């Protein structure tokens, strides 16, 4: 299905292809978690921390919207990140009743360390591919990511490559 195509079930083959790709992405995620040593943060906490780092300072309500979860759920996630020392709250200078979230130094170190470990795992896997296969994977993943981000809601956190490199410290 092309970028301009409407979203829906157009054929059994398309559904099967989509389901297979989704399953493969889940397998990749599981392999990364298994090989990277897990860590002290859940996938949801890590995603929220990443979003905070990319958008700091950010209100918790905006964070919840970007992460696609309810405000009470995000409140629990943020409280957990605070207990782990990963985020800091500051008062919004425009509205003293509102808190803004930003990553702590420890939070940024955690993101950069996880990004480096994950990048190393991807590099190891890509190094096992023939040059043509590697180029095909890189191109296909970029096209799929760009297409998925185009389908996402306007508030969804879907950074481009330049934004990602900033948070990763350029690695």
Per domain, the residue ranges of the chain are 40-167
Region 88-106: mean pLDDT is: 94
The pLDDT, as a whole number, for residue 148 is 86
Q: 155: pLDDT confidence band, cut at 50, 70 and 90?
A: low
Which residues touch 153 (CB under 8 Å, ≥6 apart)? 68
Region 3-7: mean pLDDT is: 47
Upstream peptide bond of 57 is cis (omega within 30 degrees of 0): yes
Model confidence at 168: pLDDT above 60: no
**Could you give the CA distance from residue 61 to residue 17 in angstroms, rounded to a whole number?**
36
**Could you give the CA distance from residue 94 to residue 81 in angstroms, rounded to a whole number?**
24
Place of tokens 């930003």: 102
At the second CATH level, the architecture of 40-167 is Orthogonal Bundle (1.10)
Q: 17: pLDDT confidence band, cut at 50, 70 and 90?
A: confident
Model confidence at 140: pLDDT above 90: yes
């Amino acid at each position: 299905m092309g970028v301009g195509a409407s979203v829906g079930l157009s054929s059994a083959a398309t559904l099967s292809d989509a389901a297979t790709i989704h399953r493969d992405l889940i397998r990749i995620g599981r392999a990364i978690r298994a090989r990277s040593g897990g860590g002290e943060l859940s996938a949801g906490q890590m995603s929220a921390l990443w979003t905070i780092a990319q958008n700091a300072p950010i209100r918790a309500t905006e964070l919840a919207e970007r992460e696609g979860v309810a405000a009470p759920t995000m409140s629990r996630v943020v409280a957990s990140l605070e207990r782990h020392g990963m985020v800091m709250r500051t008062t919004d200078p425009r509205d003293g009743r509102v808190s803004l979230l930003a990553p702590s130094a420890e939070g940024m170190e955690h993101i950069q360390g996880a990004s480096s470990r994950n990048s190393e795992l991807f590099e190891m896997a890509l190094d096992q591919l023939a040059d043509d296969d590697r180029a095909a994977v890189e191109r296909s993943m970029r096209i799929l990511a760009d297409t998925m981000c185009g389908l996402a809601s306007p508030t969804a956190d879907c950074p481009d490559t330049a934004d990602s490199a900033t948070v990763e410290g350029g690695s």
